[in-house]
Structure 1
Amino acid sequence: MLPLPSTDQDLRCPGFCDCRFPSCVDVANHKGNIPDLVTCRCGEDSGNGLEWQWHHTENSDAQVIGRDIVFHPTYSQGTAIVRGEQPLQQDKVHFWEMRIITVLAGTDVMFGIGTDSVNLEQFKFHFVSALGTNAQSWGYSYNGKIQHCGDQLPYGQKFSQGCLVGIYLDRTRGHLEFFLNRRSLGVAYTNIPTDPHVKIYPMVCSTAAKSVIRLINSTSQAATLQLRAFESLAKQPQKLDELRQMPGLKRIMQSYWFLAPPVRYSRCSTNLDLDLCDEAVLSSSKLRLGRKQKYRETDDVNIDEDLYANAHKIPVRRNDSGDEEYVSSIHEFCDEYFHYLL
């Protein structure tokens, strides 16, 4: 018998945590504030601080309620675009993170940036992938594609409810990078204007009725030599762990938390709090569980090397009878591999 084809849901990135999120039926029937339906157990809603909020305009078909954006609260008749309340400074690097509260559907839901030339009302009565339609904006779609100047390119997995979308903008270099569930997807664009006279804002757009996005973190840091040094160490977990043991560096590392953000998989363990920013190890599209090569203490391995070189060394564990066995799932694989790294 031939295997059944994978569904679209199978291809989507799973949620970041196992917090309770509202179903489509809950959202459709709820008469109050939709974000109130979320029950957070992982603590991510507390965030790491906010340096800016969303900007509310009267003519927009989106409600801004504190950190939350409720797109098309009654019904959708086009695309609503919301931007941050202030431009992102040219001499800094910026990171912000958004949590997807509702199931995403429809033409498109996008996360990204745009200049002050973007007309937020342009597609109010049209269903389009608004961010990246021209040279004034750059967008990352929930369908796993990036867009700029109308050109869509494959970039990452599809994603929806419960996922965390992070954006890392280096305005000093003109680089734009996206994160999905605290995993870097790599630099998407290197053509972001570095001209201090060009105003660039965080932006989100959606065509989906009653779709909700929550801003949980936003920070900006000067592009100093210290920051560049931490960037270089971000993919060396052992070195980062050694730095965390030094009391004088703890406060500094907290300022650069987004370079090695905490990854919590509460489906596996509520106590799991790991620091890793490397999509090559964690991305389910790249894992090769069939490669049964086990790690031994006698192997000549330099764990200070880049993680890409060691991602294939999957350790084994012993079962109750004392026999060795290989891990059998993505989550178990991550647990075992993290024990090896840390």
Structure 2
Amino acid sequence: MLPPPHQDACNPGFCDCPFPNSIEVTSHKGHIPDLVRCRCGEDVPGNVNPWKWQAAEDSDAIVTDRDIIFHPTYSQGTAIVRGERALKPGMVHFWEMRVITALAGTDVMFGIGTESVNLGQFKFHFVSALGTNAQSWGFSYSGKVQHCGEQLPYGQKFSQGCLIGVSLDRSRGHLEFYLNRRALGVAYTNVPTDPDVNIYPMVCSTAAKSVIRLINCTSQPVTLQLRSFQALSKQPHKLAELQQMPGLKSILQSYWFLAPPVRYSRRSQETDLDLGDEAVLSSSKLRLGRKQKYRETDEASLDEEDLYANAHKIALRRSDSGDEEHASSLHEMCDEYFHYLL
């Protein structure tokens, strides 16, 4: 008997609230987000300048308030949804999303992109859309990050019940992701700081009936005060002392995203890393960071002629008629309507 294929461990959810299984999602005739009553971590006091997702008539995604339902009937490609307004330059932006349904298929990604991103580019192709070119940056549910068509290991695989946070410092061009409110480290340092370049929050999915909810979003101007609390957020004990001072309580509330309140589920507590493991992982990430191709000295090409220049890297196959089609795989089969029943 052959041994079972190796599968990467999936990060536990943020809390212990119940979530619908795949069969319940597939058979539900109403609004899928209504199946979830969990509100853990939502609407943290201190959110400033909140925004919502932008609905598009030609998109295979339904946007209702803060929820996105990708491919509500069946999936035939990749849908990309962006925020309703650009993230202002010279500010630090943070937003957080909850994964409502189990993730499967080719890819589900969270990240950012410029206004040059064609949201319908891969409408009929199953691809990891965010980070395909120089115009976007993405974090996949597989735990990898992608930019300019190159994928790099970054975090642990995640799925239903997890919180995905995105921190964008537009004054420095730094992009960092959070998983269940734990910072994973700066992923990229080459995000354009040019105020003439509009950058939007983005999410993409190939999975049928996959649901993502925006639960928190805030933006703060870059000040000496913010940078000070940013440095203190790396020292939890000192930050805890400041939180006891009445005069600083309201200020710290505005910067809650620098050290977001963590609520571990019982499953995550059982598998939580000790300090020794954290130190090993931190040093490994540091070594990886030094090897990363995309640094501050790199200039992200914003030439429109280079848009989606890496799309040719997507594997192709030939059909019996001689036409080129995108390669089929088990992942693509999982993107179809009945992937929940596999």
On whether the aligned pair clears a TM of 0.5, the verdict is yes
Alignment of 1:107-146 (within 5 A): 107-146=106-145
Shift of 1:286: 8.1
Which whole-Å deviations, capped at 9, do the CAs of 1:284-308 have from their partners, x for residues lacking one?
498649x9xxxxxxxxxxxxxxx99
Superposition TM-score, scaled by structure 2 size? 0.76
Superposition misfits of 4+ residues, deviation over 3 angstroms: 4-7, 45-50, 282-289
- Measured in 2, the distance between the counterparts of 1:268 and 1:81 equals 32
Shift of 1:45: 3.2
Q: Report the counterpart of residue 294 of structure 1 in structure 2.
A: none
Q: Report the counterpart of residue 327 of structure 1 in structure 2.
A: none
Q: Tell me the amino acid that sits aligned with residue 33 of structure 1.
A: H
Which whole-Å deviations, capped at 9, do the CAs of 1:27-76 have from their partners, x for residues lacking one?
00000000111121x63234444610000010000000111000000000
Q: Tell me the amino acid that sits aligned with residue 232 of structure 2.
A: L
**Helix, strand or coil at the partner of 2:266:** coil
Q: Tell me the amino acid that sits aligned with residue 82 of structure 1.
A: V
Shift of 1:14: 0.7
Which whole-Å deviations, capped at 9, do the CAs of 1:251-297 have from their partners, x for residues lacking one?
0000000001000124389xx9xxxxxxxxx96498649x9xxxxxx
Shift in alpha-carbon separation, 1:36–1:112, aligned structure 2, 3 A: same
Q: Report the counterpart of residue 65 of structure 1 in structure 2.
A: 64
Q: Report the counterpart of residue 264 of structure 2 in structure 1.
A: 265
RMSD between aligned residues: 2.4
Which whole-Å deviations, capped at 9, do the CAs of 1:72-117 have from their partners, x for residues lacking one?
0000000000000000000100000000000000000000000000
Alignment of 1:327-338 (within 5 A): none
Which whole-Å deviations, capped at 9, do the CAs of 1:294-325 have from their partners, x for residues lacking one?
xxxxxxxxxxxxx99xxxxxxxxxxxxxxxxx
Shift in alpha-carbon separation, 1:6–1:225, aligned structure 2, 3 A: farther
- Measured in 2, the distance between the counterparts of 1:24 and 1:286 equals 36
Alignment of 1:44-123 (within 5 A): 44-48=41-45, 49=47, 51-123=50-122
Superposition TM-score, scaled by structure 1 size? 0.76
> Does 1 or 2 have the higher relative contact order (CA < 8 Å, sep 6+)?
2
Shift of 1:206: 0.1
- Measured in 2, the distance between the counterparts of 1:288 and 1:112 equals 28
Equivalent of 1:43 in 40, 46, 54: 40
Shift of 1:242: 1.0
Q: Report the counterpart of residue 18 of structure 1 in structure 2.
A: 16
Alignment of 1:1-342 (within 5 A): 8=7, 11-40=9-38, 43-48=40-45, 49=47, 51-267=50-266, 284=273, 288=277
- Measured in 2, the distance between the counterparts of 1:26 and 1:250 equals 43
- Measured in 1, the distance between the counterparts of 2:151 and 2:199 equals 21
Q: Report the counterpart of residue 334 of structure 1 in structure 2.
A: none
If you compute each CA radius of gyration, which structure gives the higher value, 1 or 2?
A: 1
Q: Tell me the amino acid that sits aligned with residue 243 of structure 1.
A: L
**Helix, strand or coil at the partner of 1:45:** coil
Which whole-Å deviations, capped at 9, do the CAs of 1:208-267 have from their partners, x for residues lacking one?
000000000000001100000011111211111111111110000000000010001243
**Helix, strand or coil at the partner of 1:157:** coil
**Helix, strand or coil at the partner of 2:166:** strand
The answer (yes or no) to whether the contact 2:137–2:145 under 8 Å persists in 1 is yes
Can you give the 5+ residue segments of structure 2 that lack an aligned partner in the other structure? 284-342
The answer (yes or no) to whether the contact 2:78–2:125 under 8 Å persists in 1 is yes
Q: Tell me the amino acid that sits aligned with residue 10 of structure 2.
A: R
**Helix, strand or coil at the partner of 2:230:** helix
Shift of 1:207: 0.1
- Measured in 1, the distance between the counterparts of 2:276 and 2:71 equals 38
Q: Report the counterpart of residue 301 of structure 2 in structure 1.
A: none
- Measured in 2, the distance between the counterparts of 1:66 and 1:155 equals 31
Q: Tell me the amino acid that sits aligned with residue 132 of structure 1.
A: G
Deviates more, 1:191-200 or 1:227-236: 227-236
Q: Report the counterpart of residue 335 of structure 2 in structure 1.
A: none
